[in-house]
């Protein structure tokens, strides 16, 4: 069943914007969530607070002395496997990509994220619970104009295993992402691709509900590394070697590629400035997404005011 149908049945479809506003946006109030982290299983409480204009997204570790803050920019990305970790001022916040995707997907520019643990709660493995809580609280327009970086020429980054990510100019007011998922002929995860425009409406209906997934063969390795020991097949989508799903069902037949887009959105949000481009990604993970976020960050000085072309 597609996620939109799930939302309709639950009465949770709310009016979103077709395209991001020309002015910056923040939260209309405080959003509270809690839960265990995906990798470490440590419970944490999160409060999303309205942010001041031009402040961006700031993580604040309320459980540490001095309540140190970490700005959500690619310059603060710390090396970590299979997730995005931010570190600065003696503080670290792990697995931020789903929350960052929710904020970016709903076009929220400024937000303070107070968290009393080391890792953002996994919720249901998607960013839908974050989005729903944000929409329930509301989104406020601010006075400052959004600063958009419009990509003028193609830029690409590639890895040794055939992974590649590229941004190219796009002559429309919102970005789009095309992702090609291919784990090889022997993988139980099917080869698929998906393209989405990054409007709040389309993000909410097509991407926000896509959950984290894993292949059966990967589970024991991760547990030996100390990760995910608290998880069951109800907490994460597990693809068995024969392609079946353990104790769960997909929200879309192509849910894995939609989740890879979700991760990509959250990682690219770390470039520090909204940008307009077509993103084409093949087999990329967090590391290469961060490389592209750095490339876009270096171009962000060529920003424009509002949604108009420069």
Q: Please name which of 259, 222, 213, 261 lies closest in space to residue 240, comparing C-alpha atoms.
A: 213
Q: Are 46 and 113 in contact (CB under 8 A)?
A: yes
Q: Which helix (H) or strand (E) holds 43?
A: strand 43-50
How far apart CA 157 and CA 210 sit, in angstroms, is: 25
How far apart CA 264 and CA 272 sit, in angstroms, is: 14
> Which residue(s) pair with 214 in the sheet?
238
Check 40, 259, 286, 290 and give the catalytic one.
286
> Which residue(s) pair with 121 in the sheet?
37
Task: Verify whether residue 40 is a known catalytic residue.
Answer: no
Q: Are 202 and 250 in contact (CB under 8 A)?
A: no
How far apart CA 52 and CA 34 sit, in angstroms, is: 24
How far apart CA 259 and CA 264 sit, in angstroms, is: 9
Q: Are 36 and 46 in contact (CB under 8 A)?
A: no
Catalytic center residues:
286
């Amino acid at each position: 069943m597609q996620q939109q149908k799930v939302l309709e049945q639950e009465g949770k479809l709310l009016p979103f914007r077709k395209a991001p506003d020309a002015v910056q946006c923040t939260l209309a109030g405080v959003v509270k969530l809690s839960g265990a982290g995906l990798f470490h299983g440590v419970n944490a409480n999160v409060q999303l607070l309205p942010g001041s204009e031009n402040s961006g997204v700031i993580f604040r570790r309320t459980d540490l002395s001095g309540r140190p803050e970490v700005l959500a920019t690619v310059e603060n990305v710390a090396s970590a496997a299979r997730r995005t970790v931010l570190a600065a001022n003696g503080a670290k916040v792990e697995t931020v990509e789903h929350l960052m995707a929710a904020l970016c997907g709903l076009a929220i520019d400024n937000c303070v994220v107070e968290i009393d643990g080391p890792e953002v709660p996994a919720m249901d493995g998607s960013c839908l619970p974050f989005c729903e809580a944000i929409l329930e609280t509301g989104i406020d327009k601010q006075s400052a104009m959004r600063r958009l970086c419009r990509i003028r020429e193609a830029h690409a980054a590639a890895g040794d295993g055939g992974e590649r990510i590229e941004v190219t100019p796009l002559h429309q007011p919102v970005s789009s992402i095309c992702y090609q998922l291919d784990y090889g002929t022997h993988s139980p995860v099917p080869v698929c691709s998906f393209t989405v425009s990054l409007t709040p409406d389309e993000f909410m209906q097509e991407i926000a509900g896509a959950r984290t997934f894993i292949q059966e063969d990967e589970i024991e390795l991760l547990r030996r590394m100390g990760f995910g020991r608290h998880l069951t097949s109800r907490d994460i989508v597990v693809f068995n070697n024969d392609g079946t799903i353990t104790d769960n069902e997909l929200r879309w037949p192509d849910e894995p590629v939609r989740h890879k887009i979700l991760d990509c959105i959250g990682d690219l949000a770390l470039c520090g400035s909204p940008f307009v481009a077509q993103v084409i990604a093949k087999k990329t993970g967090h590391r290469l997404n961060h490389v592209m976020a750095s490339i876009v960050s270096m171009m962000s000085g060529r920003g424009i005011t509002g949604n108009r072309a420069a």
